[in-house]
Chain A
């Protein structure tokens, strides 16, 4: 897989194949167009799977992803609330491999756009005709004074699922009776707009059972948040008096933390806390910056194909992209990946390309059987992905409808994960 196309410029494909035949696996496909996908999450896994499946072997697809097991952020809050096992939100890449995707467990550490190659941490260099980037998010350095990634074991973000989720759950469960849980919420735009507030609901659910006199404080740099009326109604119905949300109007944006002392200072007032979830401001996964396709924190794309506005041979999906109106969600990333897969196949094999359609629905669980949702459909315009129509659950809905909404979210989880991983 170290075949480097630059070395063969001016040589026929057959000659190239003959030269490197003994050790280069991709060789028997030397003539086929190549797609490299970086990141095996909601966007990348879906794109790799669809390109391989729908091109029926006409395109070579390589997926680069360091982890052997992908833990979905979606439903990781339910794990925290005790509604799901961690193992039930872990997915391996066997289904993709079976579906014809060449899965390489490594980090991409560089992109040479002129040469159209990707370098991996292990040293391999992969050629591509099209590169798909879906690396998710990284955190903005210095976004929360006092916090950096070296504090993430004391004050976990749990905004990438897996060990971080386990850590935060353990810290919540070992809080002393009547203790304090704090969350530092992120500024817009960020991954999963209702995510922090669903998490608060799940933390409150656990504390209500195990530690009913505990308190929850949220320091928020925003004046309002996703599904705010629904969450606030739910919090006062289920967890009355337990949750104190401090929005930007009340100094929630003026925060500093000290992980060694376990203190949080909000608008100058210092509080000793027993568990603290810091969710800093976010930016596109670092490989986007390394590839030189970001503007500010995110990578801008053309809506109709998800192509980078900087380089037409690169597509950017999911959280990392700046695309317009869609929220940064797994559903959105999956939806964008299918539009991208169609565009990539069209460009590389001449298959038919239909007009892009996008959609999203985000469910949140407030307490047992109390589910709510928000969703919308979108279309591609020249400028951006633009919202067409939407809906949101209403306050005051009856218990049966809320339960039906939760049951539906369980169905969706099974649907999207089998759509991503093919199993």
Chain B
């Protein structure tokens, strides 16, 4: 997963080529069904996915992370879906969707154009909301390449351990210890540019520099 988080100006436009998207769908169809009579398989069915809150299909056994994002207000709009398909973990760290992501923007656009046809009432979805693209979430190699200073990370981390337990225990706030550093960096940037919806974490990540995020990733990633 390489690439930077670039916020680009909002532009509503045709999402992509739905016909080409039908072929990209082959990557997904082993796990997901879409269209008339679609049922849950390994993954939930994707009918009406645009405008649908994350983790909303009753009876499907979602990951804790995806359910949490749904409760936080994550709705599958174009930019969020784009981020998830580019790198599922950027949006939901412990997602059960074990899929590396679609690397090119074109593939993502096309498969989203394809899925858009199966949104129950596409005409009811206000054009400006789900299809306006607010951000592109891409992760740049330069940002991932920053080597964090663990000593600085240790100090910065004291701010996090008021909520996240240093021994990794979970009592309602997720564990952030021993993560692969890249995943950690991606998650923090996703809060920083507000692709992930949680207000506390948006605030915490919002004032961290790229170096500080790297320092935290190094510290939490390498705890004894």
Q: Which of B71, B152, B204 contacts A404 (CB 8 A)?
A: B71
Q: A354 near B155 (CB under 8 angstroms)?
A: yes
Q: B156 near A401 (CB under 8 angstroms)?
A: no
B202 CB contacts on chain A under 8 angstroms? 391
Docked pose: A418 CA to B168 CA in angstroms: 11
Docked pose: A409 CA to B173 CA in angstroms: 8
Q: With an 8 A cutoff between CB atoms, is A331 at the interface? A: yes
Q: A416 near B162 (CB under 8 angstroms)?
A: yes
Chain B residue at smallest Cβ distance from A415: B163
Chain B residue at smallest Cβ distance from A359: B159
Docked pose: A274 CA to B207 CA in angstroms: 49
Closest CB-CB distance, A73 to chain B, in whole Å? 16
Chain A binding surface SS class: helix
Chain B residue at smallest Cβ distance from A339: B158
Docked pose: A416 CA to B163 CA in angstroms: 6
Q: With an 8 A cutoff between CB atoms, is A389 at the interface? A: yes
A-B pairs with beta carbons under 8 A, tally = 87
Closest CB-CB distance, B94 to chain A, in whole Å? 15
Of residues 159 to 179 in B, which have CB atoms within 8 Å of A's CB atoms?
A: 159, 161-167, 169-173
Docked pose: A352 CA to B153 CA in angstroms: 12
Encode A411-423 as 1/0 by CB contact (under 8 A) with B.
1111110110000
Q: Which of A357, A390, A404, A410 contacts B72 (CB 8 A)?
A: A404
Docked pose: A415 CA to B176 CA in angstroms: 12
Q: A414 near B171 (CB under 8 angstroms)?
A: yes
Q: B200 near A418 (CB under 8 angstroms)?
A: no
Closest CB-CB distance, A209 to chain B, in whole Å? 25
Docked pose: A422 CA to B163 CA in angstroms: 14
B204 CB contacts on chain A under 8 angstroms? 359, 377
Closest CB-CB distance, B113 to chain A, in whole Å? 30
Q: Which of B173, B199, B206 contacts A415 (CB 8 A)?
A: B173
Instruction: Using CB atoms and an 8 Å cutoff, list the residues of chain B in contact with chain A.
Output: 68, 70-73, 151-152, 155-156, 158-159, 161-167, 169-173, 199-200, 202-204, 206-207
Instruction: Using CB atoms and an 8 Å cutoff, list the residues of chain A in contact with chain B.
Output: 50, 331, 334-335, 338, 342, 352, 354, 357, 359, 361, 373, 375-377, 388-391, 400-401, 403-404, 407-416, 418-419
10 closest A-B pairs by CB: A411-B172, A411-B173, A414-B171, A404-B71, A338-B158, A391-B199, A410-B172, A415-B163, A407-B172, A400-B71
